[in-house]
Chain A
Amino acid sequence: MYQQAKRLSKLALCPVLMLLSLLSTGAWATEGAPQRWQLNMTPGVTEVGAKIYDLHMFVFWVCVVVGILVFGVMFYSVFAYRKERHQEPATFHENTRVEIAWTIVPFLLLLVMAVPATKTLIEIYDTDDADLDVLVTGYQWKWKYEYINPNGDNVSFFSNLLTDKAEIANSEAKGSNYLIEVDEPLVLPVDKKVRFLVTANDVLHAWWVPALAVKRDAVPGFINEAWTKATETGVYRGQCAELCGRDHGFMPIVVNVVEEAEYQEWMAGKQAEAAELKALMSKEFTMDELVARGKTVYNRSCAACHGPAGEGGVGPAIAGSAIATGPTKGHLDVVVNGVPGSAMQAFGGQLNEVDLAAVVTYQRNGFGNNMGDMLQPIDIYKFKKGQ
């Protein structure tokens, strides 16, 4: 309540702020992260972003000047030639010279805009000579990042919304990064040209981080290229910018730009993690371990459609499902390969073998599906190979 009152009182300030914005554009957006009451685009932390910002401001000011002239004449006419004051209207109704002039002048203005626009665009399209390639894949409703390593294994992980459901449902106070926080951010080295290869697994998404001046549509089956070169370290946030279904608004992007050394360290850690996972692959899990891990995976990746208690939603109920209580092969097939033409994705490429084994085991033994059987990572591996 108090917050709301405060907000409303700020509303009164708005007209002033709008005027201010015209005079001091730029002052509001020097920092990478968006602010409350931010009125303008951020120049961000890249050279291209700054150029886009300048272009934006240039066109904006041209429009302001043209607007002042045009609206000036208009309102002057409305005031000066009111019937009370000006009984006898003039009768002129054409003037070829004037008409030609006001065709040519806007055209010239446009030419002046087109030049820097063309230059900036060419720069945006120059994706050559990148220091690092990252494959960005949009999924309903999360991002997957894969660092393409020319020598050795790629490192990849998913980046999910972190915000608590309770905050969204208004039963808990909202944090300052409400809806723009993730469990695992993308980590990039500063001052390096990073090329993004953007694609999608299911529907269209768009990867947008204003401060990095990148927005590219993620098109299933095609790879789009984009690039950035952040000049300052920091945390930069963005969101999916193409309607992608129910949770389109809940698909944030967080990029953590760090010093080269820190990046290398992080990368080494990631690679170690991958190695560890490989080791887990050959481990024998107990039922309890599997169910515990499976529950986490389920809640993160499946509950959105099948319901937290397996009661169903977008997807059918898991509790008592013929497939989840049928032969393991059929169950695995649905989970690994998805159901083409439905919302059920192929999780074979999204989850690792350990998580797959865990989640399937969990589904077969949770929600009252007491099948009693369990799967080990190696079974998943064999299943995938056997296809």
Chain B
Amino acid sequence: MAGQSSAGHETYYVPEKSSLAINATIGLITIVYGASSVINDATYRPGEETNSSFILFAGLAYMAATLWVWFGTAIRENRQGMNSAQLKHSYVIGMQWFIFSEVMFFAAFFGALFYIRNLSGPWLAGEGAGAMNSLLWPGFEYSWPLMDTPQDAIGGVQAQAAAGHLANNGEFTGPGKHLSFPGFANMSHWLPLYNTIILLTSSFTCHIAHIGIKENNRKKFNLWLAITVALGVIFLYLQYMEYHEALFEYGIKLNSGVYGTTFFMLTGFHGFHVAMGTFMLLVQLVRSKAKGHFSASDQFGFEASSWYWHFVDVVWVFLFLFVYIL
């Protein structure tokens, strides 16, 4: 199938037909339906027995199985030499633009953070364009991290309701403590710093692994890749510790106002991406160790995962700056 056509141009491999997509659709739509049901049941019918979590897990399992086969097929095709250089380039472009879409997803949340911190937060406290807002939230002062929500400032949800002209939706009690830079004296207990060092290092080790495989040095590749994966796992463990601390010692929760909101959403999505990236790299490690995949000239599976990893790393740098330091 591959190779040169009479015109001297490589032919492009177009699979005849494939049931992968339709199976992936079944998986995806089951997940969508299941996840919506699980969440709705938890909110509107707490405690009731339903089968929605079964649907969700069935969907997840189906999807995982489909993806397993899908990636397996793509790998097999490549190893059988069906992929022309041109087709390989399509995969490269695909991965790059996928990462770009992820960048934009994070941009939405960073945008929200900047907007709250620089514009709407101060406005709520009666600064700038929001001069009159102090009529609604007398006593509210803005600072970041936001330790007292506007609701706290006027005396809690009951007072808010009694004040009459205020929206009556939900209880938001500010956190007890925050996770921002604690000063140089206490820096040695500050987990985000450790995490920054770990993640930055892992980008390096990942790059060394890449050099390894390009030099056809599989040992070097496997070693440094394993180190990268280990660093990813350590990062996740530390983040788990941090969350534990935040929730149970600092009183930072999703409903602790916008500080808790933005903290958990940004670091949470990032953590999820680290988990994905770690898993992707682990798969590449297994492929290399167990199956001897990748060569000096062709390591796309690894390369794609490493781009992803570098992307996750860059996001962390921004997080570290804007969530923890500034």
Are A and B genuine complex partners?
Answer: yes
Binding site for B on A (CB under 8 A): 135, 137, 144, 146, 197, 199-202, 220-223, 225, 336-338, 340-341, 345-346, 348-350, 384, 387
| In the complex, chain B residues 129-182 whose Cβ is within 8 Å of any chain A Cβ | 130-133, 135-137, 150, 157-159, 161-171
Q: Contacts A199-B165, A201-B165; is A222 near B170 (CB within 8 Å)? A: no
Q: Are A349 and B164 in contact (CB under 8 A)?
A: yes
Contact for B150 among A221, A345, A346, A349, CB less than 8 A: A221
- Measured in the bound complex, the distance between the Cα atoms of B165 and A345 in whole Å is 10
Q: Are B136 and A346 in contact (CB under 8 A)?
A: no
Residues of A within 8 A of B157 (CB): 340
Query: Can you report 15 A-B residue pairs in the complex whose CB atoms are below 8 A from each other?
Result: A146-B165, A202-B167, A220-B167, A221-B137, A222-B124, A222-B130, A223-B133, A336-B162, A340-B170, A341-B170, A346-B164, A348-B162, A349-B161, A350-B164, A387-B159
- Measured in the bound complex, the distance between the Cα atoms of B158 and A225 in whole Å is 27
| In the complex, chain B residues 101-140 whose Cβ is within 8 Å of any chain A Cβ | 123-124, 130-133, 135-137
Residues of B within 8 A of A199 (CB): 136, 165
Residues of B within 8 A of A346 (CB): 161-162, 164, 168
Q: Contacts A222-B130, A222-B136; is A338 near B161 (CB within 8 Å)? A: yes
- Measured in the bound complex, the distance between the Cα atoms of B132 and A223 in whole Å is 6
Residues of A within 8 A of B123 (CB): 222
**CB-CB nearest in chain A for B126:** A223
- Measured in the bound complex, the distance between the Cα atoms of B162 and A350 in whole Å is 9
Residues of A within 8 A of B130 (CB): 222-223
Contact for A221 among B161, B162, B167, CB less than 8 A: B167
- Measured in the bound complex, the distance between the Cα atoms of B168 and A220 in whole Å is 9
Closest-CB distance, B43 to chain A (whole angstroms):
9
Please name the 8 residue pairs, one residue from A and one from B, whose CB atoms are nearest each other, closest first: A349-B164, A220-B167, A346-B161, A223-B132, A337-B161, A338-B168, A346-B168, A137-B165
Closest-CB distance, B164 to chain A (whole angstroms):
1
In this complex, the interface size class of chain B, counting residues with CB under 8 Å from chain A, is 20 to 34
Q: Are A337 and B165 in contact (CB under 8 A)?
A: no
**CB-CB nearest in chain A for B159:** A387
Q: Are B170 and A387 in contact (CB under 8 A)?
A: no
Q: Is the interface of B mostly helix, strand, loop or mixed?
A: helix
| In the complex, chain B residues 263-302 whose Cβ is within 8 Å of any chain A Cβ | none
Contact for A201 among B133, B150, B158, B167, CB less than 8 A: B167
Q: Are B158 and A197 in contact (CB under 8 A)?
A: no
| In the complex, chain B residues 222-256 whose Cβ is within 8 Å of any chain A Cβ | none
Since A144-B165, A387-B158 are in contact, a sample of 5 more A-B pairs with Cβ atoms closer than 8 Å, ordered by chain A residue number, is: A199-B136, A201-B164, A337-B161, A340-B168, A349-B165
Residues of B within 8 A of A201 (CB): 164-168
Residues of A within 8 A of B164 (CB): 201, 346, 348-350
Residues of A within 8 A of B137 (CB): 221
Contact for A384 among B162, B165, B169, B170, CB less than 8 A: B162
Q: Are A340 and B135 in contact (CB under 8 A)?
A: no
- Measured in the bound complex, the distance between the Cα atoms of B167 and A349 in whole Å is 11
- Measured in the bound complex, the distance between the Cα atoms of B132 and A346 in whole Å is 23
Residues of B within 8 A of A137 (CB): 165
Residues of B within 8 A of A348 (CB): 161-162, 164
- Measured in the bound complex, the distance between the Cα atoms of B162 and A135 in whole Å is 17
Q: Are B168 and A345 in contact (CB under 8 A)?
A: yes
Residues of B within 8 A of A135 (CB): 135, 165
Q: Are B124 and A337 in contact (CB under 8 A)?
A: no
**CB-CB nearest in chain A for B43:** A341
Closest-CB distance, B258 to chain A (whole angstroms):
12
| In the complex, chain B residues 194-235 whose Cβ is within 8 Å of any chain A Cβ | none
- Measured in the bound complex, the distance between the Cα atoms of B137 and A189 in whole Å is 30
Q: Are A340 and B150 in contact (CB under 8 A)?
A: no
Residues of A within 8 A of B162 (CB): 336-337, 346, 348-349, 384, 387
- Find the residue from A199, A202, A223, A345 having the highest chain B CB count within 10 A: A223
- Measured in the bound complex, the distance between the Cα atoms of B162 and A201 in whole Å is 12
- Measured in the bound complex, the distance between the Cα atoms of B171 and A338 in whole Å is 13
Residues of B within 8 A of A337 (CB): 158, 161-162, 168
- Measured in the bound complex, the distance between the Cα atoms of B158 and A183 in whole Å is 31
**CB-CB nearest in chain B for A384:** B162
Q: Are B168 and A202 in contact (CB under 8 A)?
A: yes
Residues of B within 8 A of A338 (CB): 161, 168
Closest-CB distance, B163 to chain A (whole angstroms):
6
- Measured in the bound complex, the distance between the Cα atoms of B155 and A387 in whole Å is 11
Q: Are A221 and B136 in contact (CB under 8 A)?
A: yes
- Measured in the bound complex, the distance between the Cα atoms of B149 and A221 in whole Å is 12
- Measured in the bound complex, the distance between the Cα atoms of B271 and A364 in whole Å is 53
Residues of B within 8 A of A220 (CB): 166-167
- Measured in the bound complex, the distance between the Cα atoms of B54 and A13 in whole Å is 64
Contact for A340 among B131, B159, B161, B165, CB less than 8 A: B161
Residues of B within 8 A of A349 (CB): 161-166
Closest-CB distance, B137 to chain A (whole angstroms):
8
Q: Are A200 and B161 in contact (CB under 8 A)?
A: no
Q: Contacts A336-B162, A337-B162, A384-B162; is A221 near B168 (CB within 8 Å)? A: no
- Measured in the bound complex, the distance between the Cα atoms of B130 and A350 in whole Å is 24
Residues of A within 8 A of B161 (CB): 336-338, 340, 346, 348-349
Residues of B within 8 A of A222 (CB): 123-124, 130, 133, 136
**CB-CB nearest in chain B for A347:** B164
Closest-CB distance, B249 to chain A (whole angstroms):
27
Residues of B within 8 A of A340 (CB): 157, 161, 168-171
- Find the residue from B135, B167, B170, B171 having the highest chain A CB count within 10 A: B167
